[in-house]
Structure formats: C-alpha cells, structure tokens
A and B are shown apart, each in its own frame.
Chain A
Amino acid sequence: MVNMIILAVVFVIGAFIFQVTLSGFSRKVVARIQKRRGPTVFQNFYDIGKLLFKESSISHGFIFDFGIWMALGSTIATLLFMPVGGWALMPKYANIIVIIYLLAVGSLGMAMSAVGSGNPLASIGVSRALTQMFAYELPFVVIAVLIIYLAKSSNILKIIEYQTQNGWNLFSMPIGALVAYISLMGMLGKKPFDTPIAPAEIASGPLVEYSGKYLGFLMIQHEFATFIEVGLFVHLFMGSTSIIGFLIKYIIVYISAVMISSVMARLKIDEVVKFYWRWPLGLAILQAIITLGVRF
C-alpha cells in the first residue's frame, strides 16, 4: 500500500514535469514556426511558479474555491488510472470508460467554479466549453466503442495487447484515427477549436476571474488533462508496451497538434458544433461500417 502511494506520487510528479517541459518546448516550436526565438523550455515552470507565489489572489466565494479543487482533484485522480506504455498503477481499473467519465468531472468542476465567479464573460466561456465538449465527445466515443468492440475489452492494457498482436489501430483504421485526432484537438482546446478561451473576444473565457494561486492550479490541471487526453489517443491508436516508446509517440502526437494549431484560425462555436457533427461524426460512422463489414 505504502509502495503504491509512493509510486503514485512519483508518477504524478513525473507526468507533471514531463508535460510542463513539453509544453514549454511546444511554445518554442510555435515561436520557430512564426520565425521567433521563443521563450526557454522551462518558461511554463516559471509561469506556474510565479502564479503560486503571488502575494494575493482574489476568491469569489465557496463555489469558486470548491470548483477548482474538484477540477484539480478529479484530474489527478483520472491520471492515476492512466497507463503509461504497458505499465499502470492500477492495472485492473485502467479503463477507457472510467477515464472519459472522470475527465468530464474536471471540466464540470471548472465550469462550476467559473460560473461561481459571476463574471458574464466566464459564463459565456463555460457555455462554449460545454457545448464544445458535446461536439467532440460524440465522434470520439463512437471510435472508442469500435475499438472496445474489436479488442473485446475496455481495459486500455487489453487494447494495447490487442494492438501488439494485430498491428496499430492507426493503420488498421486510419479514418478512425483521423476522427480521434480531430477530437483530440478539440479536447486540448487548440486552434481552430480554442473557442472557449478566446482571449481576443471574451477575455480568456472561463479563466477571466482567476488570479494568482487559482490560475496556477488551473494551469496545473490543464497540464494533467493534456497528459491524459494525448496519452489516451496514443494508447488507443499506437499502443505498445514500452514506456520510452510511449513517451516518444506522445511527443510526436502533441507537437504535431501544436504545429497544426499554430497555423489555424479560430472557429465560431456554432461552426465548431456543425463541423464536428458533420465530418468527424460522419467519418466515424463510415469507419464503423467499414470495420464491421470487413469482419463479417
């Protein structure tokens, strides 16, 4: 038991350091694309550290505080179910359904907290974020169910095992991988799907009233959520049992998403929903028909 707690702490800290360094590196990549020099790789550590060291941070009541703890806590809890390569902290419970459900709790906590701040821009941002969640989850879940059906298990470790025997899902169902990748862009809130946090139009949306420590915690939550979402994509489509392999694939997927996002423009929220429910959803159903047709 003590062993497991130590492992969990090491895992969480390791994931944090890895993801924060990588997002610092991604800022460098974006800067290079825009012919800039870019900040240091450790810039995000400085940012989070600075926010946590702020002398004052204003609170807007109990719901505001509670929502942040709910978001951060549930995201860290989700992270503990997340396998890395072939290793998982709790192998029995490394389940897609658990992860998708728990991840939604984080978003809801953040939504609750943002609405609790009473700022109208935050409410607009939250309504956009939840609408976007509806939009991208439907195609993603269709593909996830298809993979669960193929692997005959919703356990991610079983899905990885299935892929080591039958080849990567990325190659056996490329359309599905594309759909999941577009959904991933929406989950990460990268352009063109950064409608909820549109700094130029609604002043960073849900984050508008957060300051100091609160914003720092939300940034940490965002890094963990990114780790889970990108990790889930890697496991579902490029599963392999080695941890190093996982990290390399993770870096490729994340940096490519950042590169695509750095040359895109933002969509409006109605365009986001129309896009997701027309193309990715249609392609997901097409993929399901093709895959099931080949099998029978």
Chain B
Amino acid sequence: MSMSTVSLMEKIKNIIRGHSLWMLHYCTGCGAMELPPTMTARFDMERLGFAPMATPRQADILLVTGYLSVKTLRRLIYTYEQMQDPKWVVGFGSCTINGGIYYDSYATIKRLDLYLPVDLYIAGCMPRPEAVINGFKKLMDMIKSGEANGWKKYKENLEWYRANQRKILGDSLYVTR
C-alpha cells in the first residue's frame, strides 16, 4: 500500500497506532531472556510506547522469542487468532528465520512465516537489547507508513496458511486438548 492511496484518517490512525504498541508477554524460547533488560531501566522499552500485556485480547504485537516446537506452534496460532486487528508478528532470533541451532531438531519448525504472517524479523542468536529496540523502532516506522499489514495478508491468504499449518499439526488443529 503506497502512501498516496491511504486516506488522511488512515494516516492519523497509523500514527497513533505506531506510538502505542502493546506486546503480548508470551515467551516461547530462550529469547525471552533478552526482554527483561529491554523492559527495565537500562534500555527502557516503555519510552517508545511499548508495554507488556498479560492477555492476547489486549495485545497488538506477538513477539515470538526463539525456537518454536510443534506443540508450542499450535498454542501460538490459537493465541494469534485471539488477538484483535490490527496485529503484528515479530520473529525474534535466528530460530524463527531458518531454524538456527535447532536446524536438525525433530520437534521445532524452521520458518515461522509459513504459519503466521511475520512483519519483521530480528536476526541474531541472541539479538541484543539494542537490536530489539532497533527492530521495534523499525516496526513503528513500518506501521506509521502503513507497510506492516501482515494481519491483512493472513486474512487474504488464510487457505495457504491453513494448509501449511495442517501439514505440521494435522487435522486436529481445532480440537481442544
């Protein structure tokens, strides 16, 4: 979506959204270890308007911190679908990009963007808090310019994402356990 086609109201909405991003406090892997320094006094995530939230209903960002086992992926998909639009997914660490050091594991997925629409990847193993802050800043800019629209892609290509999810999780994706 280019800037010219976006209406003025949409621009204002995007600027406001870009200033207040609530992150779901859900930690899948070891990457969560880098979040306490990011949140607390040293790097202070809150000054950019980021805040951790306890439930998916209130959150805007799904931060996937590190490796994702198949078992966690199912919960992550449920969580993502409980979040309200607009919502963004940030892949954190090389595990979400290409498997990282878990490239030969029998239980972890290697590419997150096959199953959920990732807006931004933060590369590294581990990404330092500086990299996390930089990634968040980039995400804010993307939201303000209207580039970050993974949630729209997920709606449009739902069948494709579902097919990929089914391939890993089987037909029991919507069976409660």
Contacts and interface: CB of A to CB of B under 8 A. Distances in A.
A57 B59 CA distance: 12
A43 B19 CA distance: 8
Interface stretch (A184-192, A204-212, A227-235): A204-212
Contact of B41 (A36, A47, A57): A36
Interface string B74-103: 000000000111100000000000000000
Contacts of B60: 50
Contacts, number: 77
Contact of A204 (B16, B19, B55): B55
Main secondary structure of the interface of A (DSSP, over half): loop
B89 to A, nearest CB: 16
Interface in A173-223: 199-200, 203-204, 207-212, 215
A35 interface: yes
Interface residues of A, number: 31
Given A34-B41, A39-B49, A49-B16, A56 B54 contact: no
A56 B85 CA distance: 5
A50 B86 CA distance: 10
B41 to A, nearest CB: 4
A210 B44 contact: no
Nearest to B39: A36
B134 interface: no
A36 B47 contact: yes
A208 B55 contact: yes
B54 A46 contact: no
Interface in A1-50: 27, 31, 34-40, 43, 46-47, 49-50
B17 interface: yes
A200 B54 CA distance: 7
A204 B47 CA distance: 22
B84 A46 contact: no
A38 B55 contact: no
A39 B60 CA distance: 18
B46 interface: yes
B58 interface: yes
Contacts of A35: 41
Main secondary structure of the interface of B (DSSP, over half): loop
Nearest to A30: B46
A248 interface: no
A57 B17 CA distance: 15
A200 B55 CA distance: 10
Contacts of A31: 44, 46-47
Contacts of A47: 20, 49
A134 interface: no
B166 interface: no
Interface in A46-90: 46-47, 49-50, 53-58
Contacts of B17: 50, 53
Contact of B57 (A39, A40, A43, A58): A58
Contacts of A215: 57-58
A43 B84 contact: no
A28 to B, nearest CB: 9
Interface in B94-129: none
Interface string A114-126: 0000000000000
Contact of B46 (A36, A55, A56, A58): A36
Given A46-B19, A210-B57, 16 more contacts: A36-B41, A36-B46, A39-B48, A43-B49, A46-B16, A46-B49, A49-B20, A50-B20, A53-B13, A54-B84, A54-B85, A57-B84, A204-B55, A209-B55, A211-B58, A215-B57
6 contacts: A31-B46, A34-B41, A39-B49, A49-B20, A204-B55, A208-B54
